[in-house]
Amino acid sequence: MLPYVIRRLLQAIPILLAVAALIFVMFSVIPGDFASTQMADGRSVVDAEQVARMNKQFGLDDPVHVRFANYATKLATFDLGTSFRTRQPVINSLLERIWPSLQLAIAAMAFAIAFGIPLGFLAALKPGGWLDMQSMFVAVSGLSLPQFWLGLMLMYAFALVLGWFPSFGYGDGNPRYIVLPAVALGVAPLALLARTTRAAVLEVMNADFVRTARAKGNSEVRVMRWHVARNAMVIVLTTLGLQFGSIMGGAVVIEKLFAWPGIGSLLVDSVSLRDIPVVQACILLLVLFFLVVNIIVDVLCALIDPRIKYT
């Protein structure tokens, strides 16, 4: 297992380099730069001479290949560069935002797991029944609703009308502030987990080894716990890992809507300001998070099902 993990981590290096190159090329061909954006948005009074001076200071007037060589050299030494806007190392901005983003992602996935997996499992016990129909309605609705619309409805109902939760902000880690954004972010993974769990349980329940377990006289509870749930969990865990890996990127809209100080809102602000070093670092961090989560999921699947071997 350890050689497999090491190999997967090494394979992540060229993926990160490819993503970094793609981001660099993309922002090199998009019109506009940080200095001209400052002038256009009225954030500071700058003229053409100041724009040229700022471009020279940030190295934006160098040829593309020179800028890419400098960026790749810094990246090889784990130097993410300096923010154009704050003039501080990019790593400082990431360290300030990564914990709120992780909090939101963990809370959203906890909500999805707590309701999605039991809902899908119970629906599979009586396919075609009332609970099955209702769970599939919830699943389809959860996958269909736009996150920003759902967030606005939650904000209106539970913050403005009922006043149960704050409508936006971080609240210095107060748990009440995370409820609405976590629910808005977790509804789609909840729906997908419910559908995946239902399909996985139905597939395992029709397997030969389950019928053999029942024929041996095992109780239904034991069959469900040790044969059905354990084998179905491999498929569910794979889906869970993919959702948890992508939820950080999907949190961009929710973080901006609820004024949550995470990586997603930092990414949106940096894109609008053409703060390229911060944008590159945010995307690389999201990609790295996705890769690491998938490696962890592969390891957990092998621990749950010893038949899975990684070479």
Residues 226 and 275 in one domain: yes
User: In this structure, are residues 24 and 16 in contact, taking their beta carbons and an 8 Å threshold?
Assistant: no
Distance CA 170, CA 179 (A): 11
pLDDT at residue number 36: 63
Q: What is the pLDDT of residues 68-90, one digit of tens each?
A: 888 888 887 887 878 877 888 88
Residue 22 domain flag: yes
- For the chain, percent of residues with pLDDT exceeding 70: 85
Distance CA 163, CA 15 (A): 46
Q: Quote the mean pLDDT of the chain.
A: 78
Is residue 247 pLDDT above 60, yes or no? yes
Residues 106 and 140 in one domain: yes
Residues 144 and 224 in one domain: yes
Please report which confidence band the pLDDT of residue 288 belongs to, taking 50, 70 and 90 as the band edges. Answer: confident
- Number of domains observed in the structure of the chain: 2
pTM > 0.75: yes or no: yes
Residues 204 and 230 in one domain: yes
Q: Which domain holds residue 26?
A: 1-90
Residue 2 domain flag: yes
Q: Show which of 90, 116, 143 is a domain's final residue.
A: 90
Residues 134 and 30 in one domain: no
Is residue 301 pLDDT above 80, yes or no? no
CATH of the domain at 207: 1.10.3720.10
Is residue 308 pLDDT above 70, yes or no? no
Residues 259 and 111 in one domain: yes
Closest alpha carbon to 119 in 136, 144, 142, 140: 136
Q: Show which of 90, 121, 154 is a domain's final residue.
A: 90
Choice between 249 and 277, residue whose per-residue pLDDT is larger: 277
Distance CA 119, CA 201 (A): 12
Residue 310 domain flag: no
Structure tokens at 6: 């090491």
Q: Show which of 56, 90, 124 is a domain's final residue.
A: 90
Please report which confidence band the pLDDT of residue 201 belongs to, taking 50, 70 and 90 as the band edges. Answer: confident
Residues 177 and 279 in one domain: yes
Residue 163 domain flag: yes
pLDDT at residue number 134: 81
Residues 174 and 63 in one domain: no
Distance CA 274, CA 38 (A): 9
